[in-house]
Structure 1
């Protein structure tokens, strides 16, 4: 197998497994060193099963029924997206076969699909009892939103330089694996900490344990694992996908925003100026007054509002009459600095030399192609570890980008 194909498979596997793409697993034995969970056992059990193929078409659109949440409030004028609706009259090729765009919807477990060309909605499809008001889980697309917020904090001077060490802002991390890493290295997934993104709950490592204790039982905060994590590599030396890196960036945003929350900062600097039409929300890793936003993979929004994020990025940071982040930040954050396949930027995946995307667990996508002025949002319910659906979606994205509606 060619090296590029191997690297592509590695990329897809990480997308499908992180941050918690696992089949349901039994409740572990309680840790007597930690407080007892106040989450009802039935809710804990549902959280352990939420990714399973027989329920995720529903759970991915109802996260506010499973978790404590924190609202990212919309306010002010909605950024109206003009439209010119067209039938999906194109085909794509996958594994030597040609399929229609309509066939793609069922073949790749689609809840919602939205395509924009030149800032205009040309197709909008909702399935499985979803509609334009349904807020769907973005999973690791949330990492890309965190990157935007870091860009806002740099623009405001809250973060003086990406080359500052993270401990300059979070002294709680001194003496651990993050000591010596710069903000830029954390953004690039080059922190060097020993946090393998592996979720084998039969033999749980640090990531699986953190998922269970923080997101299922809510007895610890997800980012607190950064206090004690060890170092595996020198900062900047090795690229390795880690949701913990993004959680540290969220902690940084809390700190530099003057005691605010990630949700409040996101509402002020992104959601309101973006002209979002509905509130978004983060799932939390604990109850009110204790929990933090799960900013590594916990944001929920409507397909149109995800599309507004993609369109803002396509327009070099401009949205609804506002410059949300500098054009230079958009370009820098979507430029490959490491990772498999075409590469990884500042929490954005690079698709090719003119396209980039936010990708979330089990089939969540904001795809942006500068060359064809295309934005595609796809919210899905892939079965766990479904490599083929991800590969087929990549083929569809290329065809949708090349499509010229008539």
Structure 2
């Protein structure tokens, strides 16, 4: 009998930084080269991971994934042509701001050209950068590719069409759009020191896919409330694998990265041959994240080929009534709010400072932990990227400085 984790999931929630279609059976997820991890071995590995994580040992956090699988990118990488177009003083000021903020990379692309490409410390153009939540827009794009290929009918299709275990339960009402937009009604992100908490088990357990499907609780009516949660992001891998009958890492490599000429990398698997984490845990060169943003700046097209369905990027950058700054995997720049972040707008933790409005009304952004940001301005065909560790506490990181310097530099040039 398949074991349920329900008896082990006792959530202890603490604040932390962060139109339906008929249900039809679909094939199970494709078989990875699974190592045959037993229940007992899986539980032991989880307890080891949890203990290491709680001790904050080196390798216990986001950079220390204990099982990585390759994600293939393009076989023939070609750089963007070099270009100018930003006033030199504005570009120099933006570089200096990135340099003093513990950045690993600062990249500026504009109208088909790489205007600036700077790496700091030991980071190079091919160094793997831990995505943190930059993985979430990638996961959303992977869904768009599955829609374009005919594997998914609509953003408003029920998740239960693919996660058939949810059929006949309250979770059957959850749609793909609600998962991508953090409005699924599933338990919000939080932290806990309890090894039995579903928050820890859904992240660290080597059978985290089963924890997500069987035990992660529904706490609000689907669509009624915005609540940030890594569980939503990690559900995308299960959706893609069941919809496309392709391992998530292969789908991302072949149908996303290779299509936009991006280098590949690695992704964290819950165990060898298991299920990848799509909500956080991919390692790619900084320029690959930039190319994802370029694809969106170009409305889902690349070199004249449409990779995402017509209207998909508009859907990504359209906020919901529950959060005026959150789209699908991305965040929306306007309207101006001085302090805001990925959590529910009613909550005060995890907010970033914005000293002024963004200098372009159509700006939207990828925004990950440690202030890893990729700003997208379609009207100016502009992408600005900053990756790295958390900036120093003083002076406080200002989320508007980099894009506004570059936008004003474009206007002045």
* 2:297 maps to 1:314: yes
Distance 1:387 1:209 in 2: 35
Post-superposition offset of 1:368: 0.4
Q: Tell me which residue corresponds to 1:196.
A: 188
Q: Tell me which residue corresponds to 2:178.
A: 185
* 2:266 maps to 1:281: yes
Q: After alignment, is 174-183 or 41-50 more displaced?
A: 41-50
Post-superposition offset of 1:361: 1.0
Q: Tell me which residue corresponds to 1:269.
A: 255
Could you tell me whether the CA contact under 8 Å between 1:178 and 1:226 is conserved in 2? no
Post-superposition offset of 1:128: 1.3
Q: Tell me which residue corresponds to 2:352.
A: none
Q: Tell me which residue corresponds to 1:364.
A: 372
Distance 1:33 1:305 in 2: 36
Q: Secondary structure at the match of 2:384?
A: strand
Could you tell me whether the CA contact under 8 Å between 2:103 and 2:391 is conserved in 1? no
Q: Tell me which residue corresponds to 1:83.
A: 82
Q: Tell me which residue corresponds to 2:72.
A: 73
* 2:393 maps to 1:402: no
Q: Secondary structure at the match of 2:398?
A: helix
Distance 1:69 1:252 in 2: 20
Indicate which of 148, 155, 163 corresponds to 1:155: 148
Q: Tell me which residue corresponds to 2:11.
A: none
- Cα–Cα, structure 1 residues 154 and 301, in superposed 2: closer, same or farther, change >3 Å? same
Indicate which of 154, 157, 171 corresponds to 1:164: 157
Q: Which runs of 5+ in 1 are unaligned?
A: 1-13, 19-30, 53-58, 92-98
* 2:285 maps to 1:302: yes
Deviations 1:329-369 (A, max 9, x none): 111111112454x4111111111340111111112122101
Distance 1:46 1:317 in 2: 41
- Cα–Cα, structure 1 residues 34 and 73, in superposed 2: closer, same or farther, change >3 Å? closer
Distance 1:229 1:304 in 2: 34
Could you tell me whether the CA contact under 8 Å between 1:223 and 1:248 is conserved in 2? no
TM-score by length of 2: 0.75
* 2:333 maps to 1:343: no
* RMSD over equivalenced CA pairs, Å: 3.3
Q: Tell me which residue corresponds to 1:334.
A: 317
Distance 1:333 1:47 in 2: 38
Could you tell me whether the CA contact under 8 Å between 1:198 and 1:208 is conserved in 2? no
Tell me which stretches of 4 or more aligned residues in structure 1 moved more than 4 Å. 31-34, 38-43, 49-52, 85-88, 202-205, 386-389
Q: Tell me which residue corresponds to 2:243.
A: 256
Post-superposition offset of 1:185: 1.7
Could you tell me whether the CA contact under 8 Å between 1:47 and 1:66 is conserved in 2? no
Q: Secondary structure at the match of 1:113?
A: strand
Deviations 1:23-55 (A, max 9, x none): xxxxxxxx9996311897799459945699xxx
- Cα–Cα, structure 1 residues 347 and 223, in superposed 2: closer, same or farther, change >3 Å? farther
Distance 2:104 2:321 in 1: 31
Post-superposition offset of 1:388: 6.5
Distance 2:258 2:366 in 1: 21
Distance 1:267 1:375 in 2: 22
TM-score by length of 1: 0.76
Distance 1:326 1:34 in 2: 39
Distance 2:96 2:255 in 1: 39
Deviations 1:48-103 (A, max 9, x none): 45699xxxxxx87xx4x643112221234435311126785228xxxxxxx93343
Q: Tell me which residue corresponds to 1:292.
A: 275
Distance 1:49 1:236 in 2: 38
Could you tell me whether the CA contact under 8 Å between 2:201 and 2:208 is conserved in 1? no
Deviations 1:250-279 (A, max 9, x none): 201010112x21011112211111111x22
Post-superposition offset of 1:177: 5.4
* 2:363 maps to 1:355: yes
- Cα–Cα, structure 1 residues 33 and 66, in superposed 2: closer, same or farther, change >3 Å? closer
- The number of residues matched between the two structures is 351
Q: Tell me which residue corresponds to 1:26.
A: none
Indicate which of 111, 117, 129 corresponds to 1:124: 117
Distance 1:46 1:237 in 2: 34
Distance 1:365 1:115 in 2: 12
Distance 1:142 1:223 in 2: 21
Q: Which runs of 5+ in 2 are unaligned?
A: 1-14, 19-38, 335-360
